[in-house]
Amino acid sequence: MGEQNRLVVRPMNKIVTIPAGGNLLDAFLAEGIELPVLCNKNGSCGKCRVIVRAPANSVTGVERLSLGEGLTASEGYRLACKTEILGSGEIVVPVESREDFLEGVYWGRELATVKAGTFPYPVDRVPARGAYAAALDLGTTTLTGYLFDHRGALASHCSCVNPTALYGSDVISRMASFQQGAEDFARVRSGMLRGVGRVLQTLFARSAGTEWSGDASARLERVAFCGNTIMQHILLGVNPLEIGLFPYAPMIRNLLRKDAADIPGLASAGIAGSTEVVLSPSVWGFIGGDAVCGVAATELHRASEPALLLDIGTNGEMVLAGRGGLFAFSASAGPAFEGYRIGSGMRAVAGAIDRIDIDARLAVSYRVIGEGRPRGLCGTGAVAAVAALLRAGALTERGHIRPARTTDRIGRNRFVIATADETSTGMPIVFTDKDVEVVQQAKAAFAAGITALLRQAGLEASRLRRIFIAGSFGSRADAENLKIIGLIPQGIEAEIVPVGNAAGLGCSALLLSSAAERAVVDVACRMQAVDAASLRDFEDIFLEGLFFRHAAYQE
Ligand code: FES
């Protein structure tokens, strides 16, 4: 074995050994130290920041671009994915990179519903006294779990970054990462199972301070999962590559109920063989169990007037109920609304700016989640920044920040939301043209999807009565801002209802209620997927959606 270097990782005080020239991120992952990485280790997400106090390779061009010259030169900041360690020393994981378990994450209405036990379906499948049942929503970027006791009461909940995000920021790039062969798929799946195991471990630790051991796992009587179709296949160990090809059909589509022992590999997530596993049915390649559970949770399938469910996440699902049908569309929006891909982006946790006002003189005021100074912008903050810039006349309809002499907050293609003195990191929070473009692409994907669904259903935009907005972004989103940026197309005057993690709520209901299971199966049978490729002018609708043309700020 070649020379091994020893790194002390602060503040965890973990020791990591790494061969000379070894990649720092790989060494972290091997030791179970996870960073919020959201690209294929190519330096584009800029989230795997660490401070390196050990001999290492020279700072690369991509790091200078991502972190800025000042930060790399004076503070020793590096991207872990681009750092090769050449000697022993110390690595500091800064606060902005410690978001693995999303402490203080905003929980929406779904949590109030599960806490109060007011599911829309009667609870009749509770675990035995002393045992537990868990529901897990496998989001593209976030894994969310809920643990229930023998009364069907919520015992604990938690949320963490999906470790498979390392292999691509959305489902398409994640599938591309295991195109090469079985080994790549196995690596992605083991990331998924590691994440599931950590969520269960945390749920148990939070409920009764129980260590997740053989003893505790035997007390997990049942676990229900929902997620997009790709995540559900990865969980089961079925390579979903074919889903990416026409006719985009899932290999596993029906509701699944099995003992964990019959699903190879689940034991590595710490799930005992005797635990019953329930998996939500899917509809189509990109319309998965999360969309089905979301519809069941909001009872969209019983809506008496036209209504829409928008699940705003990395993989955005939308379902329209109207004219007796349930029409579903999936938009790959990327993780912009989850706070990633934005230069100063972060999750909606303490320290994130989620509201912004910019007045006519370009003076800025903002709201920070939790106590203290800001350290970044969450997805809602990014949308608020675009809306505020538009209202202040500081953004063109094509999405460029207008140069202005009246304030030093505006530089070339950038706007300073918070100066270095105002933030907890000592770095300014800056919003750039590139960030505007990320929001622009994501909002255009949603706007085009909504338009496509309305057309498919033969409905006028004005007939829509209600829009349920799901996802942690949706719980905080300002309805007016969504209209201003054009995520909700003009002409829609529907009431906007934030519903929190509707998929997680539906999955919890599926876990605990036989009536909910019937509803979920019924919804999956009735839902009709709308394929963008079959719509003649979809591309034109999308391109039109890129512009910022809300009447409120037209000159
Ligand atoms: S920049 Fe390192 S993983 Fe994305």
Point out the ligand 1 atom lying closest to the alpha carbon of residue 39: 4
Residue 471's pLDDT is what? 82
Distance (angstroms) between ligand 1 centre and the Cα of 166 equals 8
Going by pLDDT thresholds of 50, 70 and 90, the confidence category of residue 69 is low
Please give the full DSSP string across 273-320, using - where no structure is assigned.
TTSEEEE----BTTB-HHHHHHHHHHTGGG-SS-EEEEE-SSEEEEEE
Spans of all domains in the chain: 4-97, 109-289, 298-334+445-549, 336-438
pLDDT over threshold 80, residue 93: yes
How far, in Å, are 104, 244, 273, 281, 460 from residue 290 at the CA level? 23, 18, 25, 9, 27
Give the CA count within 13 Å in the CB-facing half-sphere of 323: 11
Identify which of 99-113, 126-140, 243-257, 309-323 has the greatest average pLDDT. Answer: 126-140
Tokens (6 digits) for 413: 């293609």
Distance (angstroms) between ligand 1 centre and the Cα of 36 equals 8
Query: Which of 47, 99, 162 has most ligand 1 atoms within 8 Å of its beta carbon, as the pocket-test mutant?
Result: 47
Query: Which of 49, 66, 79, 170 has most ligand 1 atoms within 8 Å of its beta carbon, as the pocket-test mutant?
Result: 79
Average pLDDT taken over every residue of the chain: 88
Q: Is 416 exposed, middle or buried (0-12, 13-18, 19+ CB in 10 A)?
A: middle
Residue 116's pLDDT is what? 84
Q: Which of 453, 485, 464 is nearest to 386 (CA)?
A: 485
Residue 100's pLDDT is what? 56
Looking at residue 410, its amino acid is I
Residue nearest to atom 1 of ligand 1 (CA): 43
Distance (angstroms) between ligand 1 centre and the Cα of 482 equals 29
Distance (angstroms) between ligand 1 centre and the Cα of 49 equals 8
Give domain 4-97's CATH number out of 2.40.128.690, 3.10.20.30, 3.30.365.10, 1.20.1090.10: 3.10.20.30
Verify whether ligand 1 is closer than 6 Å to residue 386 (CB atom). Answer: no
Tokens (6 digits) for 98: 């410690």
Distance (angstroms) between ligand 1 centre and the Cα of 249 equals 32
Residue 355's pLDDT is what? 94
Its pTM surpasses 0.95: no
Q: Which CATH superfamily is domain 298-334+445-549 in?
A: ATPase, nucleotide binding domain (3.30.420.40)
- Report d(CA 335, CA 536) in Å as an integer: 27
Cβ-based neighbours of 471, under 8 Å, separated by 6 or more? 311, 312, 313, 337, 501
Going by pLDDT thresholds of 50, 70 and 90, the confidence category of residue 350 is confident
Residue 435's pLDDT is what? 93
Verify whether ligand 1 is closer than 6 Å to residue 43 (CB atom). Answer: yes
pLDDT over threshold 80, residue 34: no
Going by pLDDT thresholds of 50, 70 and 90, the confidence category of residue 58 is very high
Looking at residue 21, its amino acid is G
- Report d(CA 103, CA 99) in Å as an integer: 8
Query: pLDDT tens across 432-471, in order?
Result: 999 999 999 999 999 999 999 999 999 999 999 999 999 8
Distance (angstroms) between ligand 1 centre and the Cα of 404 equals 33
Verify whether ligand 1 is closer than 6 Å to residue 335 (CB atom). Answer: no
CB 34 within 8 A of CB 17: no
Distance (angstroms) between ligand 1 centre and the Cα of 48 equals 5
Give the CA count within 13 Å in the CB-facing half-sphere of 446: 32
Verify whether ligand 1 is closer than 6 Å to residue 37 (CB atom). Answer: yes
Q: Is 532 exposed, middle or buried (0-12, 13-18, 19+ CB in 10 A)?
A: middle
pLDDT over threshold 90, residue 549: no
Point out the ligand 1 atom lying closest to the alpha carbon of residue 41: 3
Please provide the CATH number assigned to the domain covering 109-289.
3.30.420.480
Within a 10 A sphere around the Cβ of 495, how many other Cβ atoms? 11
- Tell me if 4-97 shares its fold with 109-289: no
Point out the ligand 1 atom lying closest to the alpha carbon of residue 166: 3
Point out the ligand 1 atom lying closest to the alpha carbon of residue 43: 1
> Tokens 């995520």 appear where?
487
Distance (angstroms) between ligand 1 centre and the Cα of 236 equals 27
Longest dimension (CA), the chain: 69
CB 377 within 8 A of CB 385: yes
Verify whether ligand 1 is closer than 6 Å to residue 269 (CB atom). Answer: no
